[in-house]
Chains A and B, each alone.
Chain A
Amino acid sequence: MSGAAEYAVKMHHVTKTFGKVTANKDVNLELRKGEILALLGENGSGKTTLMNMLSGIYFPDHGEIYVKGEEVTIRSPKDSFTLGIGMIHQHFKLVDVLTAAENIVLGMEGKATVNRREINKKVRELAEKYGFDLEPSKKIYNMSVSEKQTVEILKVLYKGADILILDEPTAVLTPQETDRLFAVLRNMKKDGKSIIIITHKLNEVLAISDRVAILRKGEYIGVVNTSETDQTQLTEMMVGRPISLEIERPLVERGEKRLQVIDLTCLNGDGVKALDNVSFEAYGGEILGIAGIAGSGQKELCEIIAGLYPSIGGSVLYSGNHEGVPVQERILGLKPDEIVKKGISMAFVPEDRLGMGLVAGMDMTDNVMLRSYKSNKGIFVDRRNPKELAERLVDELEIVTPGVDTPVGRLSGGNVQKVLLGREIACHPSVLIVAYPVRGLDINSSYRIYDLLNEQKKKGVAVIFIGEDLDVLMQLSDRIMVMCGGKVSGIVDPREVTKEDIGLMMIHAGDPKSGSGNEEVTA
């Protein structure tokens, strides 16, 4: 085949179905040698499925795959390695108690003994070649997320892969770490490696890639040269129609103080401080964004406030209204049902939607009932009102579901989140805590969620928004609290700082470079 050899990978009319769902339909994809190809698409558009067929996790129903010009059959991850394909998954697969170098050589064929000095040297050479910053003898459990990712990438390179697939590598990184990763990727490209990077962040696509291939609902839409395109065109190809990317930040006069958190401290499972003297206030009519690298204490913070996690010090004060009567309570240490009994209307949309916020196997009615079933008198449950509420939510939030009696676990991520957020909003909260509310959601659903949060803000609700996408946090929030290692690095006005400032605060606790690191913010 003439010209075929220019391509590192060529996927030809590839189709993959799961039951009735077609994850990939007749997809063509070409990766040129020595290029960085961005694979762009919304969640559920089939990006990961397509790549999993290259890495040997799934087997296509139809179509052919060519690697370096030859038609191949990839039946297992081992086949994939043999062909020089290495995939770096979103979830790391590392052995915590081993060192970086040990993880890298793990599973390699070799002698019965391990010469640690030699492998450390080899790994260090490899890391230096591409500009990674890594100490080969460091144990995984001492590593940051970004370092773990480095180990995953080196693992693949060490095995001799020259085709690399990275699944949403930047999702867990700070802006600075992302820049470093991109620099490394460019080095690898110079070295002749071919790279596919899966992402849905448009600015990153434009920053790193040579070409962009777009998938929509499992179908291949097309490929464009990065230098000849822009965010608007890419969004349109990805969503299927033009869409505004502006996130609104309505001006609302800041209301009363709803929640005051003072010196909150807690331990994680290992007895290390997960929260360390965290103090902040949340006001009605504002969205307080909380930024930080994953695992900086965000999860513990919301779960303590919601009464689901034990603390070892500090206090949480709530002030609000219950049927016209002012309520002021210390809520720290109360269980969720005790909080409700005190007349406190606080809603919490947890990070783990189906594992904590909802019951995957139950239908919408039963899930909507979760928060209110106790209020019914007697021993029986009343499903009539919850059913009406569920039907109303389906209408108002445009939830796509076969019916309110379909198990919510069968709905798509966006619809699951609408059920959860809809139920929480239906309680008329005065404090609404949302943890990563748009994770895994497509653009449309994400913007619907932002709108819903803004509506609550306009109603005078104190919204606490724990987010991971700094661009979104900066556009939506009225104030941003940045966390690092369980401490508050500062509370800033997003209109006055840059993304890079926040990025620095995310890695250096108590480094108020931004100047407005106190709580006084002009509203």
Chain B
Amino acid sequence: MSAHSTQAKEPFLRMVRRDAISSRKSWGIRAAAFLLSLVTGGIVILLLGHNPISVYFSMVKGAWGSQTVIYETIKIAVPLLITAIGISFAFKMKFWNIGGEGQILVGAVAAGAFGLFTAHIFPKLPLVLLMMLAAIVAGGLYGLLPAVCKSKWGTNETLFTLMLNYIALAFIKYLMNGPWKAPGSSYPKIAMLVPGARLTKVLGVHWGWILALVLVVASYIYFNRTKQGYEISVVGESNNTARYAGINVGKVFRRTMFLSGALCGLVGMLQFAGSDYTITEGTAGGVGFTAITVAWLAKMNPFGMLVVSVFIAMLERGSNAIQTQFKIPASAADLLIGIILFFMLGCEFFISYRLIGRGKEEHHA
């Protein structure tokens, strides 16, 4: 047919939404994106004057090469995973909780209140339980606040949770400089947790990793098998439908945000009592934000989050390793992580959409 005359002036590129995509094809796209990110990162490494293959190799080795580094990698993955699960509670109902950082910090502070000042009163088990409980309640309440305001006055949760991060951070600075300043220290810092109160190690890493695995399964069941999980999905899809079905939307906001904050708060306690043994401005260390990436990449699936958080932990560990081994500056190593994540997130576009070039026909199965 004489169709060429219109096609000659056709738009250069068109975007077409895909109807459905086979899982083989979508994984193919992801694999291609990963390879492309390695190539792009490789160019950066070449520009820095190193051999990309040996740099990548030492990244992997830096994350998995020895028992010590494996422990370190897992120690990074655990808070990331639990925070991601916590955040996904809120995200599943389209409540944009970007206050993971703040919730982690208040959790750490609450745990610190018991860990630092009552360690001489309680034996280890009740003390650890107390720290956990305090962290869960504190994080939960810190998450509950924006939910209450949203359900009562319709406030914007994104701004609200973000601002709460800075409040928590400033509060910690205040504690470091004032009431909780370690006695005898010349610069502002909070005292160390006494060794007797630190979390027990199981297979070389504090038992937070077991808790994380339990939470993966538990949250999966919660999301998919319970009434409350079902309500979260309905609210996330449409507040109107939820109201129509007799679901109290405000109540679901509040309940779910408490859980979301509580899990983040728990992370603060694990970081404090299992990893850092003190509280600093870096206790959350961006985990609350990186966890958003984890949750999105895993499409809110807890098992997916397990894989993604380990992957990101590996990248972080690996980038530490190449910093020392190749004297690659930290910023360049972060750049590599950024490139890989950019490609992995970006390829989701090509999974949802197809691009059609000028003059190309559309073919269908």
Contact = CB atoms under 8 A, between A and B. Distances in A.
Nearest to A335: B246
A76 to B, nearest CB: 9
Contacts of B237: 359-362
Given A61-B362, A64-B6, A379-B228, A19 B241 contact: no
B105 interface: no
Interface residues of B, number: 35
A202 interface: no
Most buried by A among B3, B14, B244, B362: B244
Contacts of B365: 20
Given A17-B364, A19-B18, A379-B226, A352 B240 contact: yes
Interface string B223-240: 001111110011001101
B243 interface: yes
Contacts of A13: 1, 3
Given A362-B237, A373-B227, A306 B244 contact: yes
Nearest to B19: A19
Contacts of A359: 233-234, 237-238, 241
Given A62-B1, A359-B233, A380-B227, A336 B10 contact: no
A75 interface: yes
A204 interface: no
Interface string A176-220: 000000000000000000000000000000000000000000000
A337 B1 contact: no
Contacts of A381: 225-227, 229-230
A11 to B, nearest CB: 11
B203 interface: no
A73 B43 CA distance: 43
B196 interface: no
B156 to A, nearest CB: 20
A327 interface: no
Contact of B227 (A339, A360, A376): A376
B230 A373 contact: yes
Interface string B1-42: 111011001110010111100000000000000000000000
A433 to B, nearest CB: 12
Contact of B244 (A19, A336, A366, A380): A336
Contact of A75 (B9, B227, B245): B9
A350 interface: yes
Nearest to B224: A381
A272 interface: no
A222 interface: no
Interface string A53-75: 00000011111110000010101
Nearest to B233: A362
B16 A18 contact: yes
Contact of A308 (B16, B225, B244): B244
A355 B227 contact: no
Most buried by A among B10, B226, B230: B230
Given A355-B238, A359-B241, A19 B3 contact: no
A131 to B, nearest CB: 38
B364 A20 contact: yes
Given A356-B240, A359-B237, A361-B237, A18 B17 contact: yes
Contacts of B248: 335, 337
B352 to A, nearest CB: 11
A202 B221 CA distance: 53
Interface in A354-376: 354-362, 366, 369-371, 373-374, 376
A374 B246 contact: yes
A21 interface: yes
A60 B241 contact: no
B17 to A, nearest CB: 6
Contacts of A358: 241
A376 to B, nearest CB: 7
Given A61-B362, A379-B226, A370 B3 contact: no
Contacts of A357: 241, 244
B7 to A, nearest CB: 9
A312 interface: no
A366 B237 CA distance: 12
Contacts of B11: 59, 75
Contacts of A350: 244
Interface string A1-36: 000000000000100011111000000000000000
25 contacts: A19-B18, A19-B19, A20-B19, A61-B362, A65-B6, A71-B5, A75-B11, A336-B244, A337-B247, A338-B246, A354-B238, A355-B238, A356-B244, A359-B234, A359-B237, A359-B238, A360-B237, A366-B230, A366-B233, A370-B234, A373-B227, A374-B227, A379-B228, A380-B227, A381-B230
4 tightest A-B CB contacts, nearest first: A337-B246, A19-B19, A336-B246, A356-B240
Interface of A: 13, 17-21, 59-65, 71, 73, 75, 306, 308, 335-340, 348, 350, 352, 354-362, 366, 369-371, 373-374, 376, 379-381
